[in-house]
Copies of this chain bind each other. A is one copy, B any other.
Amino acid sequence: MSVMNYSDAGKVALAECMRADPTIWAVGEDLGHGGVFGQYMGLEEEFGPERIVSAPISEAAIMGSAVGGALTGTRPIVELRFADFALCAIDEIVNQAAKARYMFGGQAKVPLVIRQPSGMWRASAAQHSQSLEAWYTHIPGLVVVMPATPADNYGLLKAAIECDDPVVYMEHKDLWPLEGEVPEGHTVEIGKASVLHEGSDVTIVTWSKTRHVALEATKTLARSGTSVELFDLRSLWPWDRECVLASAAKTGRLIVAHEAVRDGGFGAEVAATAAEEVAGLKLARIGAPRIPIPYSTPLEDMVRVTAETIIGAVERLA
């Protein structure tokens, strides 16, 4: 068991996997100098530039060459720097990586991980702040993972690397320095939610950075006597339907909260599924307004989901 931050947890997971399997390689801009957030610091020294590949500014080629590599016996880890830049490589992710196995009738699998640091971070404005996880959940062939703690980043990145599917792996940029315990040999199964709090009055489902906001709200609500059952989905495709539906059936109230734009967000999928399955469920979705992320800090703050917003929604559902 050791304490490490979210960034290092990912790095340790990657390094352990690379030591065990010589066919794994990582590719992205500036990786040789540690990557833009330092998540790869020191890895080029250990694994060399053939396995920690510093790429030109060619997102399509970064992603497309990884698809080619994955189809032919190696296991690429793609670093896209900001989730927003993945938009320069969408054909390669959606038309190629996600569909190749199926289109070719199962002749090859596409074992690759597509790291896309996501979310709002330090006044980064509209082109460096997006949370687009909902898009990837809608694309057959893709797995979608969004860890929110060091332990989950360690366990889920390992699971993603070991998995033979293309995994969109979204770390949250605001969580890099977050410290936490990572048990030795820790494993996390893709598709299993983590239960952060058991309760009976209302179910809250969330993921990524909003997990921490929701936990704060849960604690505040506990003090005023409202008992919340709180889940961090951790992976959005597959997502832990059973767990959410059982809890929603128990509490009769469901709130889904995420940082992404509310309209058309993955919260809609969770809420709609629960509404189909649980009769008489009361529900509310919380997310960003449908606006690009503004730069100015007070404006940017208006986009963020806060504990107060969540508490307000719980109160309105009561």
Contact = CB atoms under 8 A, between A and B. Distances in A.
A103 B292 contact: yes
Nearest to A85: B91
Given A102-B126, A268-B271, A271-B272, 14 more contacts: A87-B95, A90-B90, A102-B291, A103-B125, A103-B127, A135-B138, A140-B292, A264-B269, A269-B272, A271-B275, A271-B276, A272-B275, A272-B283, A275-B281
Contact of A276 (B88, B102, B269, B285): B285
A294 interface: yes
Contacts of A271: 268, 271-272, 275-276
Contact of A292 (B98, B266, B267, B281): B98
B87 A91 contact: yes
25 contacts: A87-B90, A87-B95, A90-B91, A95-B127, A98-B292, A99-B127, A99-B292, A103-B126, A132-B138, A134-B134, A137-B263, A138-B261, A138-B263, A141-B292, A237-B263, A264-B266, A264-B268, A264-B269, A268-B268, A268-B269, A271-B271, A276-B283, A276-B284, A276-B285, A279-B282
Contacts of A125: 103
Interface string A248-290: 0000000000001101111111011101100111111100011
A290 to B, nearest CB: 5
B134 A138 contact: yes
Nearest to A271: B272
A84 interface: yes
Interface string A294-305: 100000000000
Contacts of A84: 95
Interface in A66-99: 84, 87-88, 90-91, 94-95, 98-99
Interface of A: 84, 87-88, 90-91, 94-95, 98-99, 102-103, 125-127, 132, 134-135, 137-141, 237, 260-261, 263-269, 271-273, 275-276, 279-285, 289-292, 294
A275 B140 CA distance: 26
A140 B290 contact: yes
Contact of A137 (B132, B264, B267): B264
A215 to B, nearest CB: 23
7 closest A-B pairs by beta carbon, nearest first, are A138-B264, A275-B275, A271-B272, A268-B268, A90-B90, A268-B272, A87-B91
Nearest to A289: B140
A263 B135 CA distance: 10
A184 to B, nearest CB: 36
A283 B137 CA distance: 21
